[in-house]
Amino acid sequence: MSVRVYDLAHSRTGDKGNTSNISVICYDENNWDFLRRELTTERVLHAFRHIAQGPVRRYEIPNLKAFNFVIDNALGGGVTRSLALDIHGKSLCNVMLAIELPDPPSREFA
């Protein structure tokens, strides 16, 4: 049984220039440690390789059981320069949520 980020969390996006900001918020605090271990900057950059050049930075927000991923060079130059349909990158949370993760031990989830 595979697990994807959307099984464990929801997401929101924002942008500033050519940088996408994607939050990942756990549905349940029991998923925090698993996502903290498995949702690495390397895994995120790999998922966004067709869009973003990176780098990717991850900020942890433990009291909210959330992460904030900042992905540079991800929006085709930014709102005023991009020819993309989604110039703000609002749909990029779907890429984040579709990331497949290793199978966790069942005891990790509530």
Q: Tokens representing 19?
A: 């940088």
Q: DSSP states of the chain as a string?
A: --EEHHHHEEEEEEEETTEEEEEEEESSGGGHHHHHHHS-HHHHHHHTTTT----EEEEEEGGGTEEEEEESS-STT-TTT--SS-TT-TTHHHHHHT-EEPPPPGGG--
Domains and CATH numbers, the chain: 3-102 (3.30.70)
Does this model's pTM top 0.75? My answer is: yes
Tens of pLDDT, residue by residue over 42-84, are 999 999 888 888 899 999 999 999 999 999 888 766 555 444 5
